[in-house]
Amino acid sequence: MSIVLDVVKANLPINAKQTPSGWTTINCPCCIHYGQSRPDTRHRGGFIFTPEEGIIYHCFNCNYKAGWKPTDRFTDRFKKLLRYLGVPKSDIQRLQLETMREADLVQPVKEETPEYKINWPEITLPKGSKQLNKWEFSPLFNRALEYISNRKLLELADWYYSDAVIGQMQNRIILPYKYKNKVVGFTARWTGEKQNKYPKYYQQQPKDFVFNLDAQKNNRKYVLVTEGPFDALAIDGVAIGGSNINYQQAQIINQLGKEVIFVPDQDKAGIDVVRQAVYYNWPVSFPPWEEVKDCADAVNKYGRPFTLKSILDFVETNKTKIKVKSQLWK
């Protein structure tokens, strides 16, 4: 492990948290220095420690960004980050001299990001789930059919249904997550008459999973990225499976070699994930849909051709404008 990585990890706050998506989150020490009226108390600062022993930092509150990788010299922003973390000035100077020496010894070479290798194990779907054509009619099963039919999703996937008597798989329409003809995960949406104690959505997926990769054809110019898989089905895009984009998912999407356009849900939760998209330098689309929250609803209301055209017509690349527009969803 590099000495810089050692120092950063040694100076992380004791309440640092590790998220399932690979971030190490802390209460950002930079916020009070960058326009925030009070210290961060919601763990909005996040580190990614890369396989190459590099360091990426991003605060999703004050938007402070800094990073370092072996053979790089320290930037001013990275030195400030070390100082805000409480690293003594003498240690920062020592580390800076060491990294300068290493940088001078290394001949500059053209950087090539190694291809991220996908390794998603095959799984079985929950016990008791069956394809739709293997169920007999019942009022609850009919509700599930109506749900995906009304959203114009019935013909777009190989749906399953579960009517488990007990447990969190009761009355759920199931979308298998497939990759290269293998089931590697699923999402199960509650469609019963009355919400029970379990969450509306239950899903199982690898932490680096990207839904609908197999549908991204080589001759396409764009890849449209959504939060939820139902939205990805509606516009033939890919989905991250929630409101967090982890480093591995971004690598997988970027190495498709297409222009990436992020299409978030137009709600308060979408604000945070938009900030993450900006971090990965993805343009964001803000279609002026009326009384529509997401892509699936837009296709249901306007049809797919109009929805796709509006997505492409309202792409924003300016990071400041992206931030301002997303704030309108509060």
Task: Identify the weakest region by mean pLDDT among 63-77, 99-113, 160-174.
Answer: 99-113
Q: Are strands 130-131 and 65-68 parallel, antiparallel or unpaired?
A: unpaired
* pTM (global) more than 0.85: no
Q: Enumerate the domain spans of the chain.
A: 3-105, 130-204, 213-329
pLDDT tens readout for residues 80-97: 999 999 999 888 888 888
Confidence band (pLDDT; 50, 70, 90) for 229?
very high
Q: Is 38 helix (H, G, I), strand (E, B) or coil?
A: coil
Question: CA Rg, the chain, in Å?
Answer: 22
pLDDT in tens, 251-293: 999 999 999 999 999 887 778 888 889 889 999 999 999 888 8
Q: Is 6 helix (H, G, I), strand (E, B) or coil?
A: helix
Q: What percent of the chain has pLDDT over 90?
A: 46
CATH class assigned to 213-329:
alpha beta
> Residues 310, 292: contact at Cβ < 8 Å?
no
Q: What does DSSP assign to residue 152?
A: T
Q: Which two tokens stand for residue 115?
A: 């291809």
DSSP string over 88-143: -HHHHHHHHHHHHHHHHHSPP----PPPPPP------PPTT-EEGGGS---HHHHH
Q: Which of 75-79, 101-105, 163-167 has the highest mean pLDDT?
A: 75-79
Instruction: Write down how long the chain is.
Output: 330
Is residue 308 pLDDT above 90, yes or no?
Answer: yes
**pLDDT (tens digit, 9 = 90+) per residue, 5-50?**
888 998 999 999 998 878 999 999 999 988 888 999 999 999 998 8
Give Cα 324 distance to the centre of its chain. 20
245 and 282 Cβ atoms separated by less than 8 Å? no
Residue corresponding to tokens 């089931």: 183
Mean pLDDT score of the chain:
87
Cα–Cα distance for residue pair 233/211, rounded to 1 Å: 9
Per-residue pLDDT band for 330 (boundaries 50, 70, 90) equals low
The pLDDT value given to residue 105: 54
pLDDT at position 1, please? 54
Confidence of residue 108 (pLDDT cuts 50, 70, 90): very low
pLDDT, tens digit, 9 for 90 and up, residues 160-191: 998 876 667 878 899 999 999 999 999 999 88
Residue 107's pLDDT is what? 45
